[in-house]
Amino acid sequence: MRHLSFKTQSANEKIVNRDWYVVDATNQTLGRMSSKIAAVLRGKNKAYFTPHFDCGDYVIVINSAKVVLTGNKMEEKEYQTYSGYPGGQKIETATEMNHRRPNLMIERAVKGMLPKNRLGRAMYKKLFVYEGAEHPHKAQSPKAMNLN
């Protein structure tokens, strides 16, 4: 009996086909939406997913100010920043963050779900978050991504 051996092909720049997706954050739960976006940025939705290669797609998020947090998280969830200086720690609630910079909530949630290395930083650059319903990426003709 002969044994057949097939080589598994790793993704490379020739194989990868990057698509553009648009996500409407209106009434979407922050964590659930962010985990699906992170999976697409990594390329886990592709048949040729390779962990050590960036084979993910571009994601555009619109209406970031209309994202939802469950329970009392809007009042109780805190975002901390620290400048490195004594007394340089700043804490703000999710409500304050949503009023000041609504894009940052989604960006931080997605970034935390990506790898913590140069590959993760390259994947994060393919995320574009906008507060309103308009975005400047019409030329890429993005497809609507279904999150449900």
Domain limits for position 82: 20-57+65-144
Query: CB-based contacts of 93: which residues, under 8 Å, 6+ apart?
Result: 74, 75, 76, 77, 78, 79
Tell me, yes or no, whether 50 lies in a domain.
yes
When divided into structural domains, the chain yields a total of: 1
Is 57 a residue whose pLDDT tops 90? yes
What does the mean pLDDT of the chain come to?
94
Tokens encoding 44: 């886990």
Query: CB-based contacts of 102: which residues, under 8 Å, 6+ apart?
Result: 64, 65, 67, 131
Tell me, yes or no, whether 1 lies in a domain.
no
Query: CB-based contacts of 2: which residues, under 8 Å, 6+ apart?
Result: none
Tell me, yes or no, whether 93 lies in a domain.
yes
CATH code for the domain in which residue 118 is found: 3.90.1180.10
> Would you say 25 and 67 are in contact if contact means Cβ atoms under 8 Å apart?
yes
Amino acid occupying residue 57: D
| pTM of structure | 0.91
Tell me, yes or no, whether 139 lies in a domain.
yes
Distance (Å, whole) CA 68 – CA 74: 8
Residue with token string 């790898």? 115
Amino acid occupying residue 140: Q
Confidence (pLDDT) at 66:
95
Is 69 a residue whose pLDDT tops 90? yes
Tell me, yes or no, whether 3 lies in a domain.
no
Tell me, yes or no, whether 15 lies in a domain.
no
Q: Averaged over 8-19, what is the pLDDT?
A: 88
Tell me, yes or no, whether 46 lies in a domain.
yes
pLDDT band for position 1 (50/70/90)?
Answer: low
Picking from 68, 83, 79, the residue whose alpha carbon sits closest to that of residue 26 is: 68
Tell me, yes or no, whether 30 lies in a domain.
yes
Q: Averaged over 42-58, what is the pLDDT?
A: 93
| Structure confidence by residue, pLDDT tens digits, 96-142 | 999 999 999 999 999 999 999 999 999 999 999 999 999 999 999 99
Confidence (pLDDT) at 2:
66
Confidence (pLDDT) at 10:
85
